[in-house]
Amino acid sequence: MAEAKTKASKNSAAKLHRYRSHDCGAVRSGDIGSVIRLSGWVHRVRDHGGVLFIDLRDHYGITQVVADPDSSAFKTAEAVRSEWVIRVDGRVRERPEGTLNPELPTGEVEIYAQEIEVLSQASELPVPVFGEPEYPEDLRLQYRFLDLRRETLHTNIMRRMEVIKSIRKRMEDTGFFEFTTPILSASSPEGARDFLVPSRIHPGKFYALPQAPQIYKQLLMVSGFDRYYQIAPCFRDEDPRADRLPGEFYQLDVEMSFVELEDILNTMEPVLRGVFEEFSEGKPVTQKFPRIPFDEAISKYGSDKPDLRNPIEMQDVTEHFKGSGFKVFANMIDKDPKVRVWAIPAPSGGSRKFCDKMNAWAQGEGQPGMGYIFFRNGGEGAGPVAKNIGPERVQAIADQFDLKDGDAVFFAAGNPAKFHKFAGDARNRIGQDLKLIDENRFDLCWIVDFPMYDWNEDEKRIEFSHNPFSMPQGGLDALNAAKTDEDLLALKAYQFDIVCNGSEIASGGIRNHLVKTMLKAFSIAGFSADVVEERFGGLYRAFQYGAPPHGGMAAGIDRIVMLLVGAKNLREISLFPMNQQAEDLLMGAPSEISASQLRELSLRLMPQEKKKT
């Protein structure tokens, strides 16, 4: 009796759900013989000698549907086209020998169609889904709903969701609480332009979308909460680039009370390491993040965002050129005590062809060229630099870097403050061209001891280097003891970054929570007490009523996901991004608004100046 009921249920689809009994990724060999119902998009149709094969796709996967001329569904199957939405009733059967597809979870079975219902037809596609061919980005963004059906992008978006879910769990397991902070706020100078929102009920006044929840999360600490985190949307009106989306981005925002810098590093390193390990697909992940002082990062790697997969480390070789026959460098050293010569080793780069290639690259970067030595014939140095400094100095450089036949070394000279970026770019270029970088790993590090202040050459003044809310190392005493610009530029902050494979993925520090210290720090950067109170009134007032020592960080969700999935552009891991001109081509934003809307907001548009041609 029970066997008869089971047989009857397999032969009938009458009681199935209106659209599906299974999703397109769930059908397995255990379902063979069952009548099931699927709904999804037609991924592609193949005609094999009059037998039609339809790959049916939904969010969960793909199942192969078969219809032959004996099938009652054959006529409908002949009519369907790519991206039509259909419902299929059919019996699950084993795929014929030799046709199994091990790359699909459903690859052992197929559905013999008994009935096909067209739920929705699709017009001719402006952007193809199957095969994911290269297509103009603006067209892909205009038809993003089609683009998101593509397997790679669809998978990236789901991976993003998994990463965020993992972060939330790890933060909660570590004792953090998720708070949400306001989206409409006041304008604050955090280094980028604000997006402004006019107020209808307060004519002539504006809200701003937050560049980050920085002030709010600090206020939460002053309010007596502890261990805050949030997956926070941030809004900055700045020019787009590959690793930064225009308009909005998301970050893991964190703040903790009663902590020192060491507490933040020790708390957050396991969280981020765990996320990378979970989603690295077996690629090695740094187990103990090295802590590299800012000055060391600049002198070794030419950047505060070093790619540690590149084994090249630069060193100072000024002494080898002082008083040498290479007069270009020797004269520079004699005239200016700030001049240094840095050497960039190039293992396996010891050919004139490669050296000439790097020299041409340097000229393309606006430099006069790059001095170099390459080694051959048992360690003999070759090239113009070697001829001018002599064999003893050449050998000293070779010994310093352990250079041998087939290696080379390049040189950059001047004030490191002005040439370190070029030297860092050269290091990156050499590492890439010589294939010294292991692409299949995640190398993470902390960059610590950032300068508190920088020198603004254009405006000839001191300004904040990183985050204006950071505590200077040494506190108020250190600020008061600094008497010259040089003293101020030598001050360090309790400020850090996290870098992965050459990309900054997080930034944070200990906050300046003492009113006197805060006012002094801002006065050095040119902000009077009145300006501080006006621009940061909420924080300024809060600090006068008992503020705990606190600190935190923010990690870029978008950049982390981009690294984990191996994408080259943030638009490949975001749902509905803007294009390079900060336009939402799908929704048509930004757009003009009506005259009545302008009147409601008490706004009048100024005529735009015509661009000169």
Return the C-alpha torsion angle 75, 80, 84, 89, nearest 10.
Answer: 30
Contact 181, 190 (CB under 8 A): no
The mean predicted confidence, pLDDT, of the chain is 93
CATH of 310-433 among 3.30.70.20, 3.40.50.1000, 3.40.1670.10, 3.30.1360.30 = 3.30.1360.30
Q: Among residues 151, 62, 61, 163, which one has the least CA distance to residue 53? A: 62
Please give the model's pTM, rounded to 2 decimal places: 0.91
CA distances from 520 to 42, 379, 455, 492, 526 (A): 66, 57, 17, 15, 10
Give the tens place of pLDDT for each residue, 483-506.
999 999 999 999 999 999 999 999
Beta strands at 61-67 and 109-120: parallel, antiparallel or unpaired: parallel
The SS3 call for residue 261 is helix
Buried b (16+ CB within 10 A) or exposed e, 514-524: bbebbbbbbeb
Cα 582–chain centre separation: 18
Whole-angstrom distance, CA of residue 290 vs CA of residue 447: 8
Side chain identity, residue 360 = A
pLDDT of residue 273: 98
Choose the CATH number for 143-289+548-602 among 2.40.128.20, 3.10.20.30, 3.40.50.300, 3.30.930.10. Answer: 3.30.930.10
Instruction: Read off the pLDDT of residues 599-608 as tens digits, 9 standing for 90 and up.
Output: 999 999 988 7
For residue 525, what are the CA distances in angstroms to 189, 218, 472, 519, 532? 13, 21, 13, 10, 11
Whether 310-433 and 143-289+548-602 are alike in CATH topology: the answer is no
**What is d(CA 596, CA 592) in angstroms, rounded to the nearest whole number?**
12
- With a cut of 60, say whether residue 8 has pLDDT above it: no
pLDDT at 413 over 80: yes
Is the pLDDT at 277 greater than 50, yes or no?
yes
Task: Answer for the pair 540, 518: CB distance below 8 angstroms, yes or no.
Answer: yes
Alpha carbons 151 and 128: distance in angstroms, whole number: 12
Reference 219, options 522, 544, 508; nearest CA is 544
Q: Which amino acid is at 230?
A: Q
Q: What is the pLDDT of residues 228-238, one digit of tens each?
A: 999 999 999 88
Q: Does residue 4 have a pLDDT over 60?
A: no
Between the alpha carbon of residue 487 and those of residues 170, 338, 421, 482, 524, the distances in Å are 42, 16, 23, 5, 12
Q: CA nearest 428: which of 419, 417, 437?
A: 437
Question: Residues 245-273: pLDDT tens digits?
Answer: 788 999 999 999 999 999 999 999 999 99
436, 428 in Cβ contact below 8 A?
A: no
User: Is the Cα dihedral 520, 524, 530, 535 positive or negative?
Assistant: negative
Kind plus residue range of the DSSP H or E element containing 302: none
Model pLDDT for residues 524-535, shown as the tens digit of each residue: 999 999 999 888
* pLDDT classification of 243: cutoffs 50, 70, 90: low
Give the residue among 512, 584, 524 at the shortest CA–CA distance from 550: 512
For residue 493 the two structure tokens come to 């902050």
Three-class secondary structure of residue 553 per DSSP: strand
Would you say residue 226 has pLDDT above 50? yes
In Å, how far are 176, 186, 229, 554 from 255, measured between CA atoms?
Answer: 9, 21, 7, 9
* Pairing, β 247-257 against β 291-293: unpaired
Least confident of 190-199, 375-384, 556-565: 190-199
Count CB neighbours of 13 within 10 A: 18
Task: Determine the Cα angle at 508 with ends 504 and 509, to 5°.
Answer: 140
12 pLDDT more than 70: no
Mode of pairing for the β-strands spanning 51-58 and 291-293: unpaired
Q: What is the mean pLDDT of residues 120-136?
A: 95
Kindly tell me if the per-residue pLDDT of 191 is higher than 70.
no
Please name the residues in contact with 106: beta carbons below 8 A apart, sequence gap of 6 or more. 24, 25, 26, 27, 28, 61, 62, 63, 64
> What is the mean predicted confidence (pLDDT) over 188-212?
87
Q: Are strands 109-120 and 177-178 parallel, antiparallel or unpaired?
A: unpaired
Predicted confidence (pLDDT) per residue in 45-77, tens digit:
999 989 999 999 999 999 999 999 999 999 999
Contact 550, 156 (CB under 8 A): no
Q: What is the pLDDT of residue 613?
A: 55
- Tokens found for residue 90: 């059919």
* Euclidean distance between CA atoms 578 and 598, whole angstroms: 25
Tokens 């009652």 belong to residue: 72
> What is d(CA 273, CA 287) in angstroms, rounded to the nearest whole number?
7
Q: What confidence tens digit (pLDDT) does each residue in 82-92 have?
A: 999 999 999 99
15's tokens: 């009681």
Q: How many CB atoms lie within 10 A of CB 529?
A: 14
82 and 40 in contact (C-beta within 8 Å)?
Answer: no
User: HSE of 576 in the Cβ direction (CA atoms, 13 Å)?
Assistant: 9
In single-letter form, the type of residue at position 263 comes to: D
- The angle at the Cα of 580, spanning 574 to 582, to the nearest 5 degrees, equals 80
pLDDT band per the 50, 70, 90 thresholds, residue 189: low
Domain ranges of the chain: 21-120, 143-289+548-602, 310-433, 451-492+514-547
Give exposure, 89-124, as e/b (b: 16+ Cβ within 10 Å).
bbbbeebeeeeeeeeebbebbbbbbeebeeeeeeee
Instruction: Kindly state which CATH superfamily the domain 21-120 is placed in.
Output: Nucleic acid-binding proteins (2.40.50.140)
